[in-house]
Amino acid sequence: MGTQLEINRRTDTASQAPSPKKKKGSERDRREAVQGMTFMLPTIIILVTFTLLPTAYSLFLSFTRVNLFGGIDFQWVGFENYINAWNDDRVWTALKNTFRYALFVVPIQTAIALLMAAVLNSGIRFQNTFRTIYFLPTLTSSSALTMIFMFLFSLNGPINNVLVSFGLLDAPINFINETDFALTTIMVMNIWSTVPFFMTIYLAGLQDIPSSLYEAASLDGANAWQKLMKITVPNLTPVTNYVLLMGIIGCFQLFDQAYIISGGTGGPNNATLTFSLIIYQYAFKTIGTMGYASALAIILTIIIFTVSMIARKLNKEESNY
């Protein structure tokens, strides 16, 4: 009896001991985890250094009154900067211009990019050449592009000459310095420069749609428009979500075109004053308002996040319907 108990005890002890395979596997998993963290470490350092820390510092500055030029002195003011932003008429003007810009640009550039991608993916002749030509505006720097459009829409530029020659205008219009046309000029310029980029994204998405769907639709007698609306658009919903989000974010971050056209003033009569431009003005052109500019930057971040999430939700609901 005692011998049997001893045998059972040894058997239990042996079964509880870690097997060499499990031990070897755990060491391999630990080594792979260390390797993964090593590869991720540069990205994590860059993300923390250039994104998370600046965001946290900007959030801190938004609750202070500080001058970062000369002797730095932080004065805690709580929500005073946010209250001042609520009562600032120029902030509301910049917000209105930015929303107007986004509401005009985002739907148009998305629709044009989708149509161009569908045409260039339909098998027309020289489609690769057309793809290259249409993509060229994306390679142009924003500053150079702005200077070109300032010439095109100037008082004696080609646009005015063509419109006057065809009798559409009685006299040239100074599109750049007219309150009613300055922001519209920037809209046209932005659409022309961003459509090729989004067109390329749609072209990549079109490659994942099975050609058998279009063949079946052709057998059922569907025309090109019906194929676009019933096959292409629904299957490109994830791509459209990305295009809309990138378009919204880009529109709310509009700065360089408005800065160059207005010389940094947002004129004429604040017609080209965008939210990013007013943040720049308070941060670098006015002494002692860096905290106020930080508060505006935090507000812009919240607005972009909220609008992007609303657009994403609405687009998902529409696709599900």
Q: Are 190 and 138 in contact (CB under 8 A)?
A: no
Could you state, in order of their start, the residue ranges of all structural domains in the chain? Answer: 96-258+298-315
pLDDT of residue 112: 92
Rounded Cα distance between 298 and 260, Å, is 24
Residue 39: φ, ψ to 5° = -70, -35
pLDDT of residue 21: 53
Which one-letter amino acid corresponds to residue 295?
A
Asked if residue 315 has pLDDT above 90, the reply is no
Least confident of 38-42, 53-57, 140-144, 247-251: 140-144
**pLDDT, average across residues 285-310:** 87
- Residue 178, both tokens: 């007219």
pLDDT of residue 321: 42
Residue 298 confidence class, pLDDT cut points 50, 70, 90: very high
The pTM for the full model equals 0.79
Residue 18 confidence class, pLDDT cut points 50, 70, 90: low
Return mean pLDDT, the chain: 83
pLDDT of residue 156: 85
Asked if residue 35 has pLDDT above 50, the reply is yes
Residue 284 confidence class, pLDDT cut points 50, 70, 90: confident
pLDDT of residue 214: 83
Topology of the domain comprising 96-258+298-315: MetI-like fold (1.10.3720)
Q: Which residues pair with 65 in a beta bridge?
A: 75
**pLDDT, average across residues 292-305:** 90
Share of the chain above pLDDT 90, in %: 17
Who wins on pLDDT, 285 or 25?
A: 285
Residue in 287, 291, 280, 281 with CA at minimum distance from that of residue 78? 291
Task: Express each pLDDT in 94-120 by its tens digit.
Answer: 999 999 999 999 999 999 999 888 888
Least confident of 17-26, 67-76, 272-281, 295-304: 17-26
H helices of 140-229, where? Answer: 142-152, 158-165, 182-206, 211-219, 224-227
Burial class (CB in 10 A: 0-12, 13-18, 19+), 239: buried
pLDDT of residue 316: 63
Q: Are 262 and 228 in contact (CB under 8 A)?
A: no
Asked if residue 169 has pLDDT above 90, the reply is no
